[in-house]
């Protein structure tokens, strides 16, 4: 979805350059130069964009639900670990980048969804994603959000990243997380409380072409992901007037469950052992969150999360 919108924005920018409006393109490039650091400095959210009626229909299409399991004190800053990535990351966008129920469930907290820095190099598209409350996933950007002295900020990071989207098959419970410890280090350095978040139904929105590890397709996808920074899952779902084939996601409920916070004491120079210890605790809490709620959302009792 983001790729399609970004391609449209690039196309519009090329039209300005090649057409009689090249001077507008030059002015925008000057603006881009002057505004380059904004995605790493809290972005530029616009409430009017976040409250567009189209987002209400977007959330109701699946539908998307946000479930609260614990109170979050707005005097603290939080780092939400979002799982799984899925293909669309619909739960993260619908709950944290639109005028959803988040502000009612967690009063005093402002969510910031971190996405790959590459998206902020796209003309016009960067303005759109920032207006929705998205910011860069760079270390500088996460630090900016979590450095808020008065608390009340919540960094949302899709831990599995683009690589995990290649596992986004219906029924898949595989998370790319064992080697991902950067978010743990950031939480420690800023004393941000960790909150595991699991979005049930995220992997059910599309059917992806079979790409088991070791297959030629998976090898190509992984090489492209390393080169470009984002993955290219080959997926399909339903059409506008038929349900057999198309790129419109299936209407499958998404229940994004926000777990209980893991208190984190500020540590500017955490050791490897301290990072590993907190990472192990996070995995334990994430698994516990999943096990406690899986029966509510159609996950068989014998199925559990797989950490890679």
Q: What is the CATH number of the domain that holds 302?
A: 3.40.1130
Q: Are residues 111 and 12 in the same domain?
A: no
Residue 43 · residue 130 · CB < 8 Å? yes
Cα separation, 9 vs 2, in Å, equals 11
**Please, how many CA atoms are within 13 Å of residue 137, restricted to the half-sphere of its CB?**
20
Q: Are residues 289 and 197 in the same domain?
A: yes
Residue 155 · residue 60 · CB < 8 Å? no
What is the rounded average pLDDT of the residues 2-13?
Answer: 59
Q: Are residues 138 and 26 in the same domain?
A: no
Those residues whose C-beta lies under 8 Å from the C-beta of residue 209, and which sit 6 or more positions away, are: 217, 233, 234, 235
Instruction: Please say if the pLDDT value at position 14 is more than 90.
Output: no
Q: Are residues 143 and 126 in the same domain?
A: yes
Cα separation, 218 vs 237, in Å, equals 20
Cα separation, 31 vs 35, in Å, equals 6
Q: Are residues 124 and 28 in the same domain?
A: no
- For 82-137, the pLDDT digits (tens) are 999 999 899 999 999 999 889 999 999 999 999 999 889 888 888 999 999 999 99
Cα separation, 159 vs 175, in Å, equals 9
- For 32-65, the pLDDT digits (tens) are 899 999 999 999 999 999 999 999 999 999 999 9
Q: Quote the tokens at residue 63.
A: 């539908």
Q: Are residues 180 and 229 in the same domain?
A: yes
Q: Are residues 154 and 249 in the same domain?
A: yes
Cα separation, 275 vs 182, in Å, equals 9
Q: Are residues 166 and 225 in the same domain?
A: yes
Q: Between helices 2-18 and 22-34, what is the axis angle to 10°?
A: 130
Both ends of the chain: CA-CA distance in Å? 26
More confident call, 123 vs 155: 155
- Could you tell me how many helices (H) and strands (E) the chain has, helices first? 12, 11
Q: Which domain holds residue 21?
A: 1-35
Q: Are residues 297 and 161 in the same domain?
A: yes
More confident call, 181 vs 5: 181
Q: Are residues 31 and 149 in the same domain?
A: no
Query: Strands 64-68, 306-307: parallel, antiparallel or unpaired by DSSP?
Result: unpaired
User: Taking the model in full, what pTM does it have?
Assistant: 0.92
Q: Are residues 103 and 16 in the same domain?
A: no
Q: Are residues 113 and 31 in the same domain?
A: no
- Number of domains observed in the structure of the chain: 2
């Amino acid at each position: 979805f983001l790729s399609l919108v970004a391609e449209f924005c690039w196309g519009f920018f090329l039209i300005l350059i090649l057409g009689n409006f090249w001077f507008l393109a030059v002015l925008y490039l000057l603006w881009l130069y002057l505004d380059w650091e904004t995605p790493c400095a809290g972005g530029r959210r616009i409430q009017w964009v976040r409250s567009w009626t189209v987002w209400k229909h977007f959330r109701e299409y699946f539908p998307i639900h946000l479930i609260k399991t614990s109170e979050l004190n707005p005097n603290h800053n939080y780092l939400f670990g979002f799982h799984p990535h899925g293909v669309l990351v619909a739960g993260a966008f619908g709950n944290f980048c639109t005028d959803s129920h988040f502000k009612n469930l967690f009063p005093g907290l402002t969510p910031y969804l971190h996405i790959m820095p590459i998206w902020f190099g796209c003309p016009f598209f960067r303005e759109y994603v920032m207006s929705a409350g998205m910011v860069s996933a760079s270390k500088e950007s996460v630090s900016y959000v979590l450095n808020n002295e008065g608390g009340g900020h919540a960094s949302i990071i899709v831990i599995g990243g683009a690589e995990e989207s290649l596992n986004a098959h219906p029924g898949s419970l595989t998370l790319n997380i064992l080697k991902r410890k950067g978010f743990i280090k950031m939480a420690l350095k800023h004393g941000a409380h960790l909150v595991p978040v699991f979005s049930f139904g995220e992997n059910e929105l599309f059917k992806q072409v079979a790409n088991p590890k070791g297959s030629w397709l998976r090898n190509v996808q992984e090489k492209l992901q390393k080169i470009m920074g984002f993955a290219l899952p080959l997926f399909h779902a339903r059409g506008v007037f038929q349900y057999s084939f198309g790129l419109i996601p299936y209407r499958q409920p998404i229940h994004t469950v926000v777990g209980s916070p893991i208190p984190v004491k500020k540590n500017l120079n955490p050791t490897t052992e301290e990072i590993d210890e907190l990472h192990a605790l996070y995995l334990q809490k994430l698994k516990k969150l999943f096990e406690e709620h899986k029966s509510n959302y159609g996950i068989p009792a014998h199925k559990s999360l797989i950490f890679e």
